[in-house]
Amino acid sequence: MAGTFLQVILISRALNLDEAGVVFVLFTLMNLAATMGRFGTDNLVLRRIASGQHGHAIEARWLRAACWAASSIAGALLSGLLTTGLLPLPASAHGVPEAACVGLMTVFYALSVFAGAVLRGSGRLVAGILAELGLAPWLTILFVGAQMLLGKPTVLTVLLALLAAGAITALWALKSAQSAISFPGKIDWVEGLLFIQKHLSSLASLMGTSLLFFALVWVPQLSLGFVGTGSQVAQYTAAARIASFISIFPSIQTSYLAPKFAALAYSGRKEELSEECGRAALMAMVVAVPLLVTISYMPGLFLRLFGGGYQDAAIPTLVLCIGAYVTLFFGQVNTLMVTAGLEHPALVLNAILLVAVAGVCLLGAPTIGVVGVSIASAAGSAVYAMIATLVVSSKVGANPTLVSYFQYVSFQNSPTVNVKSG
């Protein structure tokens, strides 16, 4: 998380506002394409490894091949959209070299996340976090920093730095994943195709859920990129990255709780699942309090880190921070939706909310600006968390919110429990 934050700061300082906005939009589009390219393979492999499914090693190899194929197609499609000018972006985003960089990045970043899921599922949490979140941003900082020392970076050179960082991370992560579990020497590709076909519906739903949830978070930025200005994109991105510190602890929790959630949900241990969720929500809300107070008191101090022209993002920063803190009450509900087999209702919920938020942002961005789309983003995330909580409670029988922790404490301290334990 710190690496991602510093990466955004460095790119903001290396480029002017409009150029930085172009890079941020292209990077978000790449992440959308990479999410599509993973095709749910990361979530499925994590679920099957963590729940101890028989034959998960050979399944991981089949799913890795599927990730390769799907991400290559997604990267090629995105490159085509950029080079043909079908996306309403500035001219600097439509060059062939820029489009090629973004297309290749799609493959490498998708494979890094897949390998990270394998590593986390097999118990190698630190390596999994590095693969998914940690290594690529720090490598990008190194490469862009070198560019700043040697001369003036451009949109293309920054994209090349992101590409190099993604490639190195993917190669290392895939090698580490291969050593984490025993990939078989020979593989029956016909059986692999049958496995993918059998799980095609689940994979599509997992991909759709992840894709739509990511889009729900970043559709305000993309809307500003399509109908606003590069400066507005840069300001919103800075505000969103500052607000992401409110969710820094839940992001860390996800890395080790996702496998545990999958195992508990698979075995039907609803009480333990609720207890884990409640404890996670409490810890996240407590850790976030000093961050929220500090950012709310002096947002300008944080925005100055990004360079000149970002001070107008103070109010959007406050709006996004408050919205992020409200969602902490609902705990790891999004992770639970995916790991507990609720990808189908999550897909429908994400689709409905995405249409609503995208409609507001695309139609209103020219008039409501960065502040308006920030309000739409915060409201969309809160509504999703509330409805998803009801779905989890109904389908799984677990309570992912902060309330479940106090219910557990109250039960432990009840006279009946004390008598039995005595």
Q: What is the pLDDT of residue 419?
A: 43
Render pLDDT for 76-103 as a digit per residue (tens, 0 to 9): 999 999 998 888 777 777 788 999 999 9
Q: How far apart are CA 59 and CA 46, in angstroms?
A: 11
Q: What is the pLDDT of residue 104?
A: 96
Q: How far apart are CA 152 and CA 409, in angstroms?
A: 58
Name the residue with higher pLDDT: 420 or 317: 317
Q: What is the pLDDT of residue 60?
A: 80
**CA contacts within 13 A on the Cβ side of 227:** 17
Instruction: Using the Cα atoms of residue 321, residue 323, residue 329 and residue 334 in order, give the sign of their dihedral.
Output: negative
Q: What is the pLDDT of residue 272?
A: 80
CB atoms within 10 A of CB 314: 18
Q: What is the pLDDT of residue 421?
A: 43
> Locate tokens 């505000």: which residue?
239
Render pLDDT for 293-320 as a digit per residue (tens, 0 to 9): 999 888 888 899 888 788 888 999 999 9
8 Å CB contact between 381 and 243: no
pTM of the complete model: 0.76
Q: What is the pLDDT of residue 417?
A: 47
Buried b or exposed e, range 355-372, using 16+ CB within 10 angstroms: eebbebbbebbeeebbbb
Render pLDDT for 16-72 as a digit per residue (tens, 0 to 9): 888 888 899 999 999 999 988 888 888 888 877 766 655 567 778 888 888 899 999
Please determine, for residue 420, whether its predicted confidence score (pLDDT) is greater than 50.
Answer: no
Q: 205: pLDDT confidence band, cut at 50, 70 and 90?
A: confident
Render pLDDT for 160-192 as a digit per residue (tens, 0 to 9): 999 999 999 999 998 888 877 765 566 666 777
Q: How far apart are CA 284 and CA 116, in angstroms?
A: 23
- Most confidently modeled of 65-74, 113-122, 249-258, 390-399? 65-74
Q: What is the pLDDT of residue 408?
A: 60
Please determine, for residue 146, whether its predicted confidence score (pLDDT) is greater than 50.
Answer: yes
Summarize the confidence of residues 135-142 as an average pLDDT.
Answer: 92
- Average pLDDT of the chain is 83
